[in-house]
Amino acid sequence: MSRLLFLLAVIVVVFLLLRAFRKRPPAQQDVPAAAEEMVRCAKCGVHLPKGESILAGGNFYCSDAHRREHNPK
């Protein structure tokens, strides 16, 4: 009985290893998102993708709150 459990454990480990190896190649195809142009928040200096930034008065901001704080009007 213990030999059957050992065999089952070996099969599970092999299955998990094969699955882990198969997961790796797709992760390398996430290049387009990382290649997006980065801009700097004029308020706090954090870098973020241009598509997620807020453009106001020629400056980029990470959030609407920082846009208002930097340019109170």
Which is closer to Zn ion, CB of 36 or CB of 64?
A: 64
Which is closer to Zn ion, CB of 39 or CB of 66?
A: 66
- What minimum distance in Å lies between the beta carbon of 35 and Zn ion? 22
Which is closer to Zn ion, CB of 14 or CB of 65?
A: 65
- What minimum distance in Å lies between the beta carbon of 37 and Zn ion? 17
Say how far apart CA 30 and CA 59 lie, in whole Å. Answer: 28
Residues binding Zn ion (CB under 5 A): 41, 43-44, 62, 66
Q: Which two tokens stand for residue 5?
A: 């459990």
- What minimum distance in Å lies between the beta carbon of 54 and Zn ion? 9
Task: Taking the CA atoms of 56, 57, 62 and 65 in sequence, report the sign of the dihedral they define.
Answer: negative
Say how far apart CA 25 and CA 19 lie, in whole Å. Answer: 12
Q: Which two tokens stand for residue 35?
A: 């290649």
